[in-house]
Amino acid sequence: MTERSELQPDQNLAQDTLAQDFVQFAVDCGVLRFGEFKTKAGRLSPYFFNAGLFDDGAKLGRLAQFYAQRLLASGMQFDMIFGPAYKGIPLGTALTVELARLGHNVPFAYNRKEAKDHGEGGTLVGAPLKGRVLIVDDVMSAGTAVRESIALIQASGATAHGVVIALDRQEKATEGGQDVNHSAVQYVRQQLGLQVCAIARLDDLMHYLEQHKGSDLQDVQQKVRAYRERYGVNE
């Protein structure tokens, strides 16, 4: 088993195509839905992304392929994978299996929400945290899960190096109930110093809707654009 992964960029990978394929996949799986949804920040969003609905082996396997392809394209280097409880656990597991299939076998660990007081005890399960750790999650709303993961990783003497997520909503984070002029992803990059890569971004979703404007998604496209104009961040 290798404890170091240096994924080299695949120059032939069309990243825009990858993002569009992922958006279509998420729509087909019912993971990406359109309507009116209240977010954690109290906003009414015209779309909702629920990674918990990647709920069978075929969907998880295909999702892991998208994660792995994005990592291969990014060139991000890391030594192991960490999946924060709860959604990060199946996501990190599936990604680790897919990377091994592609010849990049790396250790994997995850955490419990509550410490176990019997058996091996503690909150961490799996491989010991060491080296450069890649955190896997679905979306990043406030960066809270990432900060918690960083604390666990650093307490073990390892380095939180990067984060890979499925969707970057590209919208303003909230602090103390107020909008701020940066997204959670920007905060993690600029303030916490971690690399972040996403399979797709809100801009990719908007492009997808643009390509389907002659369909019943035309009204959705206008609502998503208005939402982006109101809550989006400049990048």
Could you report the per-residue pLDDT of 87-131, keeping only the tens digit for each?
A: 999 999 999 999 999 999 999 999 987 765 554 557 899 999 999
Cα separation, 111 vs 89, in Å, equals: 8
Asked if residue 169 lies in contact with residue 183, where contact means CB atoms within 8 angstroms, the answer is yes
What is residue 117's predicted lDDT score, i.e. its pLDDT? Answer: 55
- Domain spans in the chain, listed from the N-terminal domain onward: 13-231
Asked if residue 196 lies in contact with residue 163, where contact means CB atoms within 8 angstroms, the answer is yes
What is residue 3's predicted lDDT score, i.e. its pLDDT? Answer: 44
Q: pLDDT at residue 140 above 90?
A: no
Q: What is the pLDDT of residues 87-99, one digit of tens each?
A: 999 999 999 999 9
Q: What is the pLDDT of residues 50-83, one digit of tens each?
A: 999 999 999 999 999 999 999 989 999 999 999 9
Which numeric CATH code is attached to 13-231? 3.40.50.2020
What is residue 14's predicted lDDT score, i.e. its pLDDT? Answer: 46
Active site positions, annotated: 116, 118
217, with CB counted inside 10 A (0-12, 13-18, 19+), is middle
Cα separation, 199 vs 216, in Å, equals: 25
Answering whether pTM is above 0.85, one says: yes
Task: Give me the residues paired with residue 80 across strands.
Answer: 133
Q: What is the arithmetic mean of pLDDT over 140-156? A: 86
